[in-house]
Chain A
Amino acid sequence: MRFSKIIYYLRITRNLEIIRRYFITNGFDGTITIMGVVLGNLYAGIIEPFIILAAGLGGGIAMFISGISSVYLSERAEKIKEFRQLELAMGKKLARSDIGEAIRIVPFMTALASGFSPLIASLLILLPFMAVAGADTFTINTYYQSVLISLLLLSSFGLMMGKVARQNIWKYALKALAVGFVTIVVILVIGQYLLNI
């Protein structure tokens, strides 16, 4: 199927905005989650890259499958409901029209965007650990690099949100970054508390 046809189907079902929303929400969600996993490993004193990669990739794959399946099922249900209402308003079956074809394809495209967004985010966050995957151990700098990538990803999602809202993009990026720092502080506080027990 041609790319322009897919865009056309997304446009006539007004789904471009929905895809964008799922992409940003799930990507943001995935970034915070994997950053949490990385920081948790830091507090657990893990120095073998394989363990962090296994935990992080496990989380990323789980979010990919969950993002795809949940969004596909819920979006399909919503689209079928809208489609039936439109058929009632038009007083005829629309299964063989462009809208009928779009209803079959659009939930799948939405699901793909929603699944790949956290997976790509988690792979990017785990990149520093992949770079040292061959080694037995690594320095704390690898952790810092990973957290830095997470914060960069969060600010990119902030920029996207600012662009959608057509407001100051840097303000949104700072807000997203603030969420990242709050997460780091909360994990640090809990981590310190657990270490002191």
Chain B
Amino acid sequence: MKKGEAMCKINLLILDVLKPHKPDIMELCKDVTECTKNISVNARVVEIDEKTESIQLIVKGENIDLEKIKETIEKLGASIHSIDEISMGYELISSKEFARIN
């Protein structure tokens, strides 16, 4: 491992995604899970409009490839509105810990 490489490793991502109703949330989760090795995905519908829905996508893993995830999401016709939370480095810092520090 090169010096500094570990620091760039993403181990948690929380994304705000806007998507059409179809492909559905199952399809999105499946494709995102398949795009990087050893990751877990959780998706939750936050808001439903007439033609679109907003999804909160939580991706947890050892070395998350953000670019690949972005590509997969775009291929499904969805788009990333914002990156709401990101965790990088050796150890995953949980949201609870984050809240405690603040």
Query: What residues of chain A have their CB less than 8 Å away from a CB belonging to chain B?
Result: 11-14, 85-86, 89-90, 92, 94, 96-100
Stretch from B7-15, B18-26, B61-69, B82-90 that touches the partner: B18-26
Give A90 to B53 CA distance when docked, in angstroms.
10
Asked if residues A97 and B52 are in contact (CB atoms below 8 Å), the reply is no
Whether A85 contacts B51 in the complex (CB less than 8 A), given A90-B18, A90-B77, A100-B77, comes out as yes
- Interface on chain A toward B: helix, strand, loop, or mixed SS? helix
Asked if residues A97 and B75 are in contact (CB atoms below 8 Å), the reply is yes
CB distance from A76 to the nearest CB of B (A): 18
Give A173 to B27 CA distance when docked, in angstroms.
37
Tell whether B58 is near chain A: CB-to-CB under 8 Å. Answer: no
Asked if residues A90 and B20 are in contact (CB atoms below 8 Å), the reply is yes
Collect the chain A residues with CB atoms within 8 Å of residue B52's CB: 86, 89-90
Asked if residues B22 and A97 are in contact (CB atoms below 8 Å), the reply is no
* Contacts A/B (CB < 8 Å), 12 sampled: A86-B20, A89-B50, A89-B51, A90-B51, A90-B52, A90-B79, A92-B79, A97-B74, A97-B75, A98-B23, A98-B75, A98-B76
Asked if residues B77 and A98 are in contact (CB atoms below 8 Å), the reply is yes
Tell whether B49 is near chain A: CB-to-CB under 8 Å. Answer: yes
Collect the chain B residues with CB atoms within 8 Å of residue A11's CB: 22-23
Collect the chain A residues with CB atoms within 8 Å of residue B27's CB: 12
CB distance from B75 to the nearest CB of A (A): 6
Asked if residues B77 and A99 are in contact (CB atoms below 8 Å), the reply is yes
Asked if residues A12 and B79 are in contact (CB atoms below 8 Å), the reply is no
Whether A13 contacts B22 in the complex (CB less than 8 A), given A97-B76, A98-B76, A99-B77, comes out as yes
Give A85 to B52 CA distance when docked, in angstroms.
11
10 pairs of A and B residues whose beta carbons are closest in the complex? A97-B77, A89-B51, A99-B77, A12-B22, A12-B23, A94-B77, A89-B52, A86-B20, A86-B51, A98-B76
Give A86 to B49 CA distance when docked, in angstroms.
11
CB distance from B78 to the nearest CB of A (A): 8
Closest to A14 in B: B22
Closest to B27 in A: A12
Collect the chain A residues with CB atoms within 8 Å of residue B79's CB: 90, 92
Collect the chain A residues with CB atoms within 8 Å of residue B74's CB: 96-97
Give A12 to B75 CA distance when docked, in angstroms.
13
Known: A12-B22, A14-B22, A98-B77. 9 other contacts (CB 8 A): A11-B22, A13-B22, A86-B20, A86-B77, A90-B78, A97-B74, A97-B76, A97-B77, A98-B75
